[in-house]
Amino acid sequence: MMPKVGGFVWSAAVLTSLSWAGCGSDQPLCAQVGQQLPLGDSPLALTRDAVLVRAGDGFVLAGLDGTTVRWGQLSSSGDISGESEFALPEQPVTAAGGQSLGPLFAVTSKTAPGDQLVVVMGVLQAGSTDQYEVHAWIHDPAAAVPLTMQVLGVQAAAPTSGTVRLVAGSSPDGTRALVAWGVEGQLAPIQYRVLGADGALVGSPATIYDATDPNNIAKWSCLDTTQNAPDLAITLVEAPTQGHPGQSAWRRFQIADDGSIGGGVQIDLDSLEVSDGRIVSTPTSDGYLLAWQNNTTNGGTYFASLTPPPPDAGPDATDEVTSQLVLASAAYGGYPNMPKLAWVAPAGYDFTIGLVRSLGPEVVRFDVFADPMGRALYLPSVSGNTSPVSAWVGSDAVYVTYLDMPGSSTYGDAAVPSGSQRYLVTVLSPAELP
């Protein structure tokens, strides 16, 4: 059963200029760099689009360079080991909406957390123009046949039917992969699969929503997976329905060990729609945090936090949801210039948001009344030219990786310039600022 949600709290305190009132140079930094670990100059470390995947006590770092997949184990102390590479036998299709359906990276476990890489993509079914097959390539360097492929399912999508979404993630212990897909704007279920060792299906093929009852299917967007909790989950944003008329809602579907849906959470977003899939979320010690962006004239970056009632509360108690506009788009000259979101994380009674800026990743902090707390923290960069940011929000820190490129080089350059360096940075957010 979805928990009841209520108690929205709104504030008029909104950052409307890039000069943070009350947060001048005499203010403490809103967060701290715990470690800045250079990852060396191996081909994997210099792969532009490498992503972090949590796997037990460490990570897997994986990325695509042309048609070559590179991946390896990455310790929390910045050591890459077991680096492997292989040629991807096929390329993902570009769907009618212009988005590439992969590749996406997840992991499973044969003998150790994250010792098998799962590469997920959508391809056109042979002889078809509107039937997409979801493929999972499983790479195990220790196996006699290191690369195998599983067909996870098929998605029908005509050019006018809506945007095809394909997402993948892994359990934090590095033992199971989760793949989900569907078409935005269609009253049709979202399909998902949970994979174990060797890509074997865990449980049965399953769906979000009940296909037998169209009244129980909502139009959705922003499909994603999250691995920032002990269990896997699928998240999405529902358009207004009978269950929450007049407002969108963020929903989280917990995926149990057997692949079934084991519970969920809903946070109503009032009339604040999410634009272009720009939403990030994370569980906290006792609830959930969201940050999202809206492209309306008076929009910007919003946050919401959900705190459940205490254990001794009565049966009619509801979750407390606080939601605020914290960064007005006008401060950046309009929504098109707003930096995208990389993560949201708790910081005591405050929260931090990671922003992808042209000068490198930036961390900002607010309290629940939308008041800025401390000075912005800019993660280390020689020239302010960085690759896409990949982050994992843990209970102790936010782990961030990016490729720092010197000089006037940009992400669109054909080759990674000499002198580039990938970092693993831990961002620490004390419960209270000095």
320 domain residue, yes or no: yes
d(Cα 49, Cα 53) in Å, to the nearest integer? 13
164 domain residue, yes or no: no
**DSSP letter string over 325-343?**
EEEEGGGGTSGGGSPEEEE
pTM for the model stands at 0.91
Question: Which residue type sits at 377?
Answer: L
Q: Give pLDDT tens digits along the chain (434 positions).
A: 333 333 333 333 444 444 444 455 688 999 999 999 999 999 999 999 999 999 999 999 999 999 999 999 999 999 999 999 999 999 999 987 788 999 999 999 999 999 999 999 999 999 888 899 999 999 999 999 999 999 999 998 876 778 899 999 999 999 999 999 999 878 888 999 999 999 999 999 999 987 677 777 888 999 999 876 667 999 999 988 756 667 889 999 999 989 999 888 999 886 567 888 899 999 988 899 999 999 987 889 999 999 888 888 888 888 889 898 999 999 999 999 999 999 999 999 999 999 998 778 999 999 999 999 999 999 988 877 888 899 999 988 999 999 998 876 555 556 788 889 999 999 999 999 98
Phi, psi of 83 (to 5 degrees): -65, 130
Q: Residue 124 forms beta bridges with which residues?
A: 132
Burial state string for 269-300 with b = 16 or more CB within 10 A and e = fewer than 16: bbebbbbebbbbbbbbeebbbbbbbbbeeebb
CB 151 within 8 A of CB 191: no
237 domain residue, yes or no: no
Q: Show the domain range for 361.
A: 1-53+272-411+419-434
**In this structure, what DSSP letter does residue 309 have?**
P
346 domain residue, yes or no: yes
Domain count, the chain: 1
Reading phi first (left if > 0) and then psi (alpha if -120 to 50, else beta), residue 305 is in beta
- CB atoms under 10 Å from CB of 17, counted, come to 10
How far from 412 is each of 45, 102, 198, 304, 415, CA to CA, in Å?
18, 19, 35, 34, 9
**Nearest alpha carbon to residue 133 among 151, 160, 120, 149:** 151
146 domain residue, yes or no: no
315 domain residue, yes or no: yes
85 domain residue, yes or no: no
254 domain residue, yes or no: no
Burial state string for 393-416 with b = 16 or more CB within 10 A and e = fewer than 16: beeebbbbbbbbbeeebeeeeeeb
